[in-house]
Structure 1
């Protein structure tokens, strides 16, 4: 198929083909592979992944980048374009397509091949309109379109991918199809920055969308209690108790081994996501109680036991260490009982709010517990939340209504002695 550019390309009716795939190999030398429709590895992507791993990136980075590269490669395959012959118009159309198209709907594996009438009633139940706020949490539900953060991540990955191959002079590649903004093509970021002022975030890619600032959400105490009551096992209760106590990221807490939970010191060790450093975090006695209940139950069933063994396992045979996707599904099931859409990361936000609400807890300690590099990252928690704003606004209207119904008495005429008025009517002078 010829390389179609300009107005002749019909993006409105373009459907991204489901060809090629990204696989996880469980090989530390090559964690992920991008395969073409014939099942062969895409060499330019394999070289890029190897460079990422040599740069000490997380093993999860190739998978994250690979999803964006797979989407781009499918776009190229559908239009018959070689990766190193793509031009700016191709990148423009791809980013425009991502902005306007509806995301593909993933059907659960249990429901594949079934007609809508054959699906269970629960799957057909009415749900909030995509993109509208959840009535319980106030957070917007998942929209039909690709989120700005997803498009921004995709643009950054593809631009850096082509920059990497331009430096290597790979193949027939002559230009990066994902250009920088016009005023940045010959200058670095903040080249003329005033050192007395804070750095401003600047948009680098020409097709990179503007990403709205995320407001951290906290789970109210009463709602957290309801979510906790909806959990099915001691393992899940221990997990939630540790997440809300330590403020650790969801995947960090899943790296703990049985020897990392020190009951006497009331700490649990985790491996940090970014630096991959080992750090001990303080937890609550309740978290260790739930953990002990889970361990006694699991060991009787035959779950492996030992200081170097994973701390949490699947609930059924064959025993496997609990992974992030399974933990997320567990939390989502408890969410569905309330009709809420909180995420595991909201537990980290909630723990942060609880620590910052304590006047005797120095923010620098909170920064260390969260594993943040800079203290300024805690500034986002100083912004009022949606619930705080609504509560303050309603209280303002209530005060105005009380003043309208019961207005204060008019001030006395000038010349009266305030002390005499206080003795006469009672009150402070």
Structure 2
């Protein structure tokens, strides 16, 4: 595994997220296990091996993660109970309309894996590692040329295209907003003031889930009604405006947490676990908290849907300039807000049903009675010799 260690060392030296090596490692481990099954060395893999691996990912089922309570400690350990009454994998959720996780690998997972493996082999080709001669995950070539983007205009910038030969097409996702009534149900299903404060801040600031968890106790400024976060990617500090209700829930959480012994200090983290030993709240724990509220309602909303909902609410305000929304969200370009201008699936369905209702009323309503034809009085006077004005 020395080639993987060298690749990770180079990846860590760059300005990337700490979660990037873990994500890349999952894809590399999946590829190495495929090669081990056929007793193929990593530097001896050819294009046919990459093709078979991509086909296997399209047909194979994803491994099921077993909860720690149901992990086998011996041959007689019971199997995890199956969920009863939930939607089938890959089918739309009856509450939200969003598709549930399917049993097969998603197109985004397969595309990410292809990109990681192509980058991995390009890195070792540049270093001339081992007996590697070609990249088994090549770029897609044109029919009449052996070079990608051969007819590109040099005066224009290259578009961000990932033209991998085995890269699948990714369907375009339209952001979805959480309706107000369903958000109220999710909010009512939370168990603690900490969870209610987190949800209120996520919805009012539009911050990413992991960004809000970077806040310290000094970053919540009640007087200015702002909270400071560390931005993902740029790692810059930014203050975000929040609602007054979010600070009310935050104060209730802090009073209870400080009585229980949670560390208190200006430089201490703002969000902590609810049980001893006290630890700063991590993203996985926050996601599981939100999923527990989802299970009570039978929905499958995600933490990122809260960010989409906050964006929709800000853009619906005609007095809110889009450039301010871009700054609050931390987007680099204003054009990234274009996806919120497209009608959502729920809006299209509501508009279509309203159209059918208007057509039904039009068919069932009686036609208006025909009014008798009226004649011009001046013409009648000229014709029959009546008085003229």
TM over 0.5: yes
Are residues 185 and 271 of structure 1, via their aligned partners in 2, closer, same or farther at CA, if it must alter by over 3 Å?
A: farther
Aligned to 1:187: 148
Given that 1:138 and 1:386 are in contact with CA atoms closer than 8 Å, whether structure 2 keeps it comes out as no
Structure 1 residue matching 2:64: 3-state secondary structure: coil
Displacement of 1:55: 2.0
C-alpha contact 2:67 2:80 (8 A) present in aligned 1: no
Give the match's secondary structure for 1:347.
helix
2:286 is aligned to 327
Tell me how far 1:409 sits from its aligned partner.
2.5
Q: How many Å separate the matches in 2 of 1:275 and 1:390?
A: 38
- From 382, 385, 390, the counterpart of 2:341: 382
The structure 2 residue matched to 1:300, chosen from 244, 247, 259, is 259
From 204, 207, 212, the equivalent of 2:163 is 204
Cα 1:402–1:234 shift into 2, 3 Å: same
Q: 1:47 to 1:140 in 2, by over 3 A?
A: same
Q: 1:111-138: CA deviations, max 9, x gaps?
A: 12399995687x5422101111001000
Q: Which runs of 4+ in 1 moved over 3 A?
A: 114-121, 187-190, 192-195, 198-203, 410-417
Tell me if the contact between 1:238 and 1:291 (Cα under 8 Å) persists in the aligned partners: yes
CA deviations on 1:163-197 (whole Å, 9 max, x unpaired) are 111111111110000011122852349823895xx
Distance 1:189 1:354 in 2: 44
Instruction: State the match for 1:345 in structure 2.
Output: 304
The CA distance in 1 between the partners of 2:242 and 2:334, in whole Å, is 22
Matched ranges for 1:351-370 at <5 A: 351-370=310-329
Matching of residue 216 in structure 1 with residue 189 in structure 2: no
For residues 103 and 379 of structure 1, what CA distance do their matches in structure 2 show? 34
1:288 counterpart = 2:247? yes
C-alpha distance in structure 2 between counterparts of 1:414 and 1:408, whole Å = 17
Contact 2:72 2:78 in 1 (8 A): no
Partner of 2:185: 226
Normalization by structure 2: what TM-score? 0.91
Q: 1:410 deviation in Å?
A: 7.0
Is 1:56 the counterpart of 2:6? The answer is no
Counterparts of 1:269-284 in structure 2, within 5 Å, are 269-284=228-243
TM-score by length of 1: 0.82
CA distance in 2, matches of 1:204, 1:363: 32
Structure having the higher Rg: 2
Alignment-derived partner of residue 379 in structure 2: none
Contact 1:234 1:293 (8 Å CA) reproduced: yes
Unmatched segments (≥5 aa) in structure 1 = 1-41, 418-429
Pick from 26, 35, 54: which aligns with 1:76?
Answer: 35
Aligned counterparts, 1:257-268, within 5 A: 257-268=216-227
After superposition, give the CA deviation of every residue in 1:319-340 in whole Å (9 maximum; x if it has no partner): 1000000000000000011100
User: Does the 8 Å contact 2:314/2:320 carry over to 1?
Assistant: yes
Stretches of structure 2 that go unaligned for 5 or more consecutive residues are 377-389
Q: 1:411 to 1:152 in 2, by over 3 A?
A: farther
Please give the root-mean-square deviation of Cα atoms over the aligned residues, in Å.
2.3
Give the Cα–Cα distance (whole angstroms) in 2 for the partners of residues 126 and 293 of structure 1.
Answer: 37
Deviation at 1:207, TM superposition (A): 0.3
Deviation at 1:348, TM superposition (A): 0.4
Supply the distance in 2 between the matched residues of 1:327 and 1:335 (Cα, whole angstroms): 13
2:382 maps to what in 1?
none
Aligned residues: 373
- 1:350-391 per-residue CA deviation (whole Å, 9 max, x = no partner) reads 000000010000011001100111111111111111111111
Give per-residue Cα distances to partners, 1:274-305, cap 9 Å, x unaligned. 11111110000000110111011001111111
Distance 1:107 1:357, change over 3 A: same
